[in-house]
Amino acid sequence: MRPDYFFYKVDNMGRAAVLGELEHLVLLGVLRLDEDAYGMRIRLEIEERTGRDVSTGAIYTTLDRLERKGLVRSEVGDPTPERGGRARRTFRLTGEGARALTEARQTLARMWSGLSLEGEGA
Amino acid sequence: MTRTPPLAGRLLLRLVLPPREVEHVAGDLQEEWITVRIPRLGEVGARYWYLREVVRSAGPVLLYRLGRGEFLPELLLAFTLTLGSYLAVEFFWGLVLSLVPLRAAAPAPGFVMGSIVVAGVVAASSGFFRTRAVLEDGVLAPLLLVAGVPPAAFLSAWIADGSTFVPSAAFGAALSVGTLTGVLVAVYPPRPFTWRARP
């Protein structure tokens, strides 16, 4: 275990991790894609649903950070021809990741509660 | 129709990413390139997309790796190399000029030459290690064979353990700092340290 990860764990013991915006989107992508969640699919999922063209590098660094935080775990699959014989690294949400997502959703709901924007729903 | 992504993109990817991630990220990019981008954009457009994707990914990846301190040993080494060579040349000229009556000769050209030699050695080493690091693609192997370097198969096996990135990054960083130092010294030659013995 790396020292920075250890201190992160201690600092955040007992509470869900706070998610950045891209982390939030990537975690939702992982949740939505289930067993088929890997870099390319997550990137396309975000692009299709939000219109945001996130770079592969940004997705890779975010997934790496989430894995170090213990919010996702990865496993390496079998090589496929369309990938030039390279293996695929798929990601799954962990219990802690699910807790962080739930916490993020509840936080947003609490903040939105009782608010409305002008013109919304007209 | 070729089904290989652009060489420049693949090489840049290999230089930027840590070795343990190259396979997965390159695989992701190649899969998207073949299954999504070529049908949508055509062969030429897809090649442009691949290059653009690699270039715009380089920034976040490098910043992330810098932030995690992955290049710290390499940067320290580069700093030590350049500062060490600077101090060595400085001390050498200071000693020579304090012992030998060469004050009429300008010390700056010697200093500049020394720094440039150091930068040159670092540049050559960097070039070699970086070339070695991308040999897995097999494209640059003939160049090394011409240069008398051992067969590519041997080098590829050597590379396969993924341990080449550290020296390549180290020499890359040293190259950058060394070259910058050489240029700065050439433009602004410093005054040598003069050591005088007590009478």
Question: What tens digit of pLDDT does each residue of A26-69 get?
Answer: 999 999 998 889 999 999 999 999 999 999 999 999 999 999 99
Question: Which among B26, B32, B60 has the least Cβ separation from residue A61?
Answer: B60
Question: Which among B16, B28, B68 has the least Cβ separation from residue A38?
Answer: B28
Residue B67 has what pLDDT? 84
Q: Per-residue pLDDT averaged across B109-134, rounded?
A: 57
Residue B100 has what pLDDT? 66
Say if the Cβ atoms of A76 and B24 lie within 8 Å: yes
Handedness of CA B11, B17, B21, B24 (dihedral sign): negative
Say if the Cβ atoms of A56 and B30 lie within 8 Å: no
CB A93 within 8 A of CB A19: no
Say if the Cβ atoms of B36 and A44 lie within 8 Å: yes
Query: Which chain A residues have a beta carbon less than 8 Å from that of B58?
Result: 57
Question: What tens digit of pLDDT does each residue of B30-51 get?
Answer: 999 999 999 999 989 999 999 9
Cβ-based neighbour number of residue B32 at 10 Å: 23
Residue B92 has what pLDDT? 74
Q: Per-residue pLDDT averaged across A22-27, rounded?
A: 95
**Shortest Cα distance from B16 to chain A (angstroms)?**
10
Q: Which two tokens stand for residue A122?
A: 């007209």
Question: Which among A43, A76, A82 has the least Cβ separation from residue B34?
Answer: A82
Pick the more confident residue, B134 or B62. B62
Q: Per-residue pLDDT averaged across A84-103, rounded?
A: 92
What span, in angstroms and rounded, lies between the C-alpha atoms of A74 and B93?
Answer: 57
Does ipTM exceed 0.85? no
pLDDT bracket for residue A8 (50, 70, 90): low
pLDDT bracket for residue B79 (50, 70, 90): low
Q: Give the burial class of B144: count Cβ atoms within 10 A of its Cβ; 0-12 exposed, 13-18 middle, 19 or more buried.
A: middle
pLDDT value at B125 more than 70: no
pLDDT value at A122 more than 90: no
pTM of the predicted protein model: 0.62
Cβ-based neighbour number of residue B163 at 10 Å: 10
CB A58 within 8 A of CB B57: yes
For chains A and B, CB pairs below 8 A equal 71
CB A84 within 8 A of CB B138: no
Cβ-based neighbour number of residue B155 at 10 Å: 19
**Shortest Cα distance from B48 to chain A (angstroms)?**
14
Which residues of chain A from 67 to 86 reach within 8 Å of chain B, CB to CB? 76, 79-80, 82-84, 86
The gap from C-alpha B21 to its chain's centroid, in whole angstroms, comes to 20
Residue A104 has what pLDDT? 93
